[in-house]
Amino acid sequence: MRKKLFTKGDLNAFFALFLDNLVNLVILTGILAGVFGFPLEIIMTKMIPGTAMGVFIGNIIYSHMAYKLYLKTGNENITAIPLGLDTPSTIGIAFAILGPSFLTFQQHLAPHEAALKSWHVGMSVMILMGSLKIAASFIGPKIQKIVPEAGLLGSLAGIGLVFLAGNHMIQIMQAPFVGLASLIIIMITLIAKYKLPYRLPGAAVSVLAGTIIFYIMGAFGIMGTEIPQLKITEFALPVPNHEGFTALLEHGSKYWLLALPFGLLTVVGGINVTESARVAGDNYNTRDILLTEAFATLIAGIFGGVSQTTPYIGHSAYKKMGARAGYTFFTGILIGLGGILGLLALMVKLIPEAAFYPILVFIGLEITSLAYQMSPVQHNMAVSFSFIPTILYFVYIKVKGLYENILISQTKIISQLPQNTESVKVMIDSLIPLSVSYEYPYLQAVSQGFIITSMIWGSILAFIIDRNIKNAAITCFIAAVFSFFGFIHSATSTGEIYLPWILNDPNLIPYKFSLSYLFAAFLLMSSRKLLIKSNADHI
């Protein structure tokens, strides 16, 4: 029986699945530490061990499912469905929840305490997402039919294009000898699909080549490159933590809408993966697959994880490798032990950022490409339209630091100058251009909740393109409700939800945005019959 479940093909599949999960941990670390200045200690000793628990639990259960299917059918070629960390949500949650919450807490807490608070928020999001996915597992096919691909995938594609591809090209060019060498290998192997000698994996070769160049340059001190000082790995046993539930009660209402689309994506993805496995001859129960990955996400959140698990779409590729159930079993064991013993954290530290950023660029381009490929051709403009909130959010976080620092400097200057003189008033007014001070609150509001906004905007246009005016109007009405209470377009700098009538907002943003969406819904519904008639006459 062992021979039927563990074959030579499991070895290649194990390395591929293990590397996929390690890549996601490097992505998480790179975004939090590199973009937001998150303390590495919290990432390595709290987030990674807890996140590894989800991969451990999920893959062990999936291996057991393959074993049970083998006993039931007698089929010797059963391949376990692979499970790992979900790349889009790892990226999205880091950018939309973990990083911003850390910056918010840092306004009144020391970096270490702010990081702990942000970690607790991340745990609460995983607990919330796991619970939502358990419920969504029973209605997954309906979700797949309701939300247009342009809205669901476009929001993630915007993150991929702007934050992964665009933002990390800046980082690559800061260390171009390492970064461009790795990027060229990625272009040759993963994008142009050239095969390397001995069928070596392109992603691994690009990282290895960049790492070798980095350490050679560091050894000789070329262009100021320094080899990082590595500490002895720390034993970090993940344990259940009640802080996630506490943060859920305190902050859950602020983040549940951001968590929802990421959870829905893995539910839809799990349905597709199970169907592809069925076509390949492995007839798994869809609900069991979905409930397992939902349970793994929930367990990860309870144990300190901040990235959800998902069935990987590459089941057919692993089956072609000759894999059975061994590769998922050993990936679960090694990821779990690696997280506890600190080996995963050590691997993450050993890889130089410039050698890894090209993979992020590729992932960003791949996510963007898939959004266009998996959406109907006529929805291409809707996909592009859904990018706009993400682009504005990127501009916002870049402008925010500059603008708020100017405000702080202005306050200090005002406090040191004589008051109530005309010359002082003129100088104060000239510190910040009127156009900036006028546009900033609206840039901030449009940026808040950008993932949900992307889904809504992309869906509205997709529905209109499909002549489904009624659904477009309903989506505008949903946007009106969300914007009125700050789920999207929050008028606060922290993106909080609120009751608008107790909000001190001189620009009246909740009322302006909400009424505008309602007016758009009214226009759509009132012109619906006219549009249908004129279109019929034209035909």
DSSP class of residue 230 equals P
What is the pLDDT, as a whole number, of residue 356? Answer: 76
Burial profile 90-116: b = 16 or more Cβ within 10 angstroms, e = fewer? bbbbbbbbbbbbbbbbbeeeeeeebbb
Domain range list for the chain: 2-175+238-351, 385-538
DSSP class of residue 487 equals S
CA distance 283 to 77: 12
CA distance 283 to 447: 44
Long-range Cβ contacts of 276-283 (<8 Å, 24+ apart): 276/313, 276/315, 276/316, 277/79, 277/81, 277/315, 277/316, 280/79, 280/315, 280/316, 280/319, 281/75, 281/77, 282/66, 282/69, 282/75, 282/78, 282/79, 282/81, 282/315, 282/319, 283/69, 283/73
The torsion defined by the Cα of 235, 236, 239 and 245, in degrees rounded to 10, comes to 170
Residue of 328, 90, 262 lying closest to 270 (CA atoms): 262
Q: What is the pTM of this model?
A: 0.70
Q: Which residue did the predictor score with more confidence, 92 or 232?
A: 92
Most trustworthy range by pLDDT among 43-47, 255-259, 384-388, 535-539: 384-388
In angstroms, the Cα distances linking 115 to 33, 106, 134 are 11, 8, 29
Residue of 152, 163, 70 lying closest to 370 (CA atoms): 152
User: Which pLDDT band, with edges at 50, 70 and 90, does 232 fall under?
Assistant: low
User: Which tens digits make up the pLDDT trace of 281-315?
Assistant: 888 988 889 899 999 999 999 999 999 998 876 67
pLDDT beyond 90 at 477: yes
Residue 534: other Cβ atoms inside 10 A = 11
What is the pLDDT, as a whole number, of residue 161? Answer: 86
What is the pLDDT, as a whole number, of residue 374? Answer: 78
Q: Specify the range with the lowest mean pLDDT, choosing from 228-242, 305-319, 355-369.
A: 228-242
- Give the three-state DSSP class for 433: coil
pLDDT beyond 90 at 461: yes
pLDDT beyond 80 at 49: yes
Cα radius of gyration rounded to whole Å, the chain: 25
User: Which tens digits make up the pLDDT trace of 65-91?
Assistant: 998 998 888 888 888 998 988 877 787
What is the pLDDT, as a whole number, of residue 280? Answer: 76
Taking a C-beta distance cutoff of 8 angstroms, is the pair 365, 434 a contact? no
Q: Which residue did the predictor score with more confidence, 239 or 226?
A: 239
Residue of 515, 518, 516 lying closest to 473 (CA atoms): 518
| pLDDT, mean over the chain | 81
Q: Specify the range with the lowest mean pLDDT, choosing from 116-125, 170-179, 410-419.
A: 410-419
pLDDT beyond 50 at 39: yes
Mean pLDDT of 17-40: 83
User: Which pLDDT band, with edges at 50, 70 and 90, does 145 fall under?
Assistant: low
Q: Which residue did the predictor score with more confidence, 184 or 359?
A: 184
What is the pLDDT, as a whole number, of residue 295? Answer: 93
- Give the three-state DSSP class for 478: helix
What is the pLDDT, as a whole number, of residue 1? Answer: 44
What is the pLDDT, as a whole number, of residue 438? Answer: 59
pLDDT beyond 60 at 430: no
For Cα atoms 165, 166, 167, give the angle at the middle one, nearest 5 degrees. 100
Residue 422: other Cβ atoms inside 10 A = 7
Q: Specify the range with the lowest mean pLDDT, choosing from 222-226, 369-373, 532-536.
A: 222-226
User: Which pLDDT band, with edges at 50, 70 and 90, does 505 fall under?
Assistant: confident
Mean pLDDT of 496-501: 82
Q: Specify the range with the lowest mean pLDDT, choosing from 307-316, 443-452, 481-490.
A: 307-316
Phi, psi of 220 (to 5 degrees): -100, 5
Most trustworthy range by pLDDT among 161-165, 249-253, 399-403: 161-165
CA distance 407 to 400: 10
pLDDT beyond 80 at 149: no
What is the pLDDT, as a whole number, of residue 432? Answer: 52
User: Which tens digits make up the pLDDT trace of 384-420?
Assistant: 999 999 898 888 877 776 666 666 566 666 666 665 5
Mean pLDDT of 322-345: 83
DSSP class of residue 311 equals E
Residue of 107, 128, 136, 40 lying closest to 353 (CA atoms): 40
Taking a C-beta distance cutoff of 8 angstroms, is the pair 144, 268 a contact? yes
Taking a C-beta distance cutoff of 8 angstroms, is the pair 305, 340 a contact? no
DSSP class of residue 85 equals E
Burial profile 207-234: b = 16 or more Cβ within 10 angstroms, e = fewer? bbbbbebbbebbeeeeeebeeeeeeebe
CA distance 422 to 419: 9
